[in-house]
Structure 1
């Protein structure tokens, strides 16, 4: 693969990731802007708080697809695992810092998960099961996300070792994006669902 094509894929992944599903779906359903209400995070969890199951499910679906489609295309084109990792990060950076929405985006968890489906479906299932279990026990979405992405490199090593480094890259980005949540968790101030 040429470096020019790789750069084009990075750019396309970032621009695709920059489409804020949460903001658009909230507009479609006549809900408040998720960047201005609830937790202020334009992601599925906050959309659920604002509008319930259907808007949240649609937000989650489209956020997953933002990671899945660019990585699937790059995987199909035969890019190396490291390049796939950077394309996944580009999609997540688009979600976190969306060009079309004043660079105010979400945490990138669903987009990162979507990026893992094309290359390691069993790993993606393990991540989903981990998130569901931790959330079921704690009822805290951010804690479930942090624990889940922290385990991603281990799952990658067990399932497809060649994707361990890309999984580390994604995990580092998502944990860094949750740094304020980590502080609130440490202080016992993070809110959950009861």
Structure 2
């Protein structure tokens, strides 16, 4: 049962929500437009708000569902976070999309929501606050990932919010690192002051993206 659920968790993560919604309902291959990414941000940009929200929710809750699978089926040999992490890996390297997936932000958040919701909400607050200041989803994602790394190393030692759980620490370090690495091109554009913005917030870094 444990091995079967691990496989299911990976397959859940591998569902390329943005790619399939674009192809089925809009006759658009997201890989041919915008950043070429199949995740939430490019879906918003290319397919619109409604499609973007749907893709975000699907990507978020496939992480949550994968994390809850072992709890629902009474599997105790491994931490639920291992199953959630496999969903994140599946989202990043999906078998259903030639192993070319998204940047793991929504699915990672969903995984944490399934295991320790208050921690997820803390990171969402960091993301939202940074997004308002910078108008950049990419920058906000990286800041939230760095916050996750710092907090998972410090808070358990202080007895605040997070338990001392080495699996939690390792999983958060892994998925946060995936998020940071997957945003390396965005980080380069941010340094060049040409990262894409959303029409909300203060843009305090004065990005001037190239308009096609």
TM-score by length of 1: 0.88
CA distance in structure 2 between the partners assigned to 1:6 and 1:78 by the alignment: 6
CA 1:160 to 1:75, structure 2 compared with 1: closer, same or farther past 3 Å?
farther
Q: What is the RMSD of the two structures over their aligned residues, measured on CA atoms?
A: 2.0
Show the 5 A alignment for 1:149-188.
149-156=145-152, 157=155, 158-161=160-163, 162=165, 163-188=168-193
Structure 2 unaligned regions, length at least 5 = 200-212
Cα deviation digits, residues 109-167 of structure 1 (max 9, x gap) = 00000001121111111111111111111011110001011112344434223223321
Q: Which of 94, 99, 117 matches 2:95?
A: 99
CA distance in structure 1 between the partners assigned to 2:81 and 2:183 by the alignment: 20
TM-score by length of 2: 0.81
CA distance in structure 2 between the partners assigned to 1:159 and 1:6 by the alignment: 29
More helix by share: 1
Q: Which of 124, 127, 130 matches 2:126?
A: 130
Q: Which of 67, 74, 94 matches 1:71?
A: 67
* Stretches (4+) displaced over 4 A: none
CA 1:147 to 1:62, structure 2 compared with 1: closer, same or farther past 3 Å?
same
Structure 1 unaligned regions, length at least 5 = none
**After alignment, is 41-50 or 160-169 more displaced?**
160-169
CA distance in structure 2 between the partners assigned to 1:53 and 1:177 by the alignment: 23
Name which one, 1 or 2, has greater alpha-carbon Rg: 2
Q: Secondary structure at the match of 2:32?
A: coil
Aligned length: 189
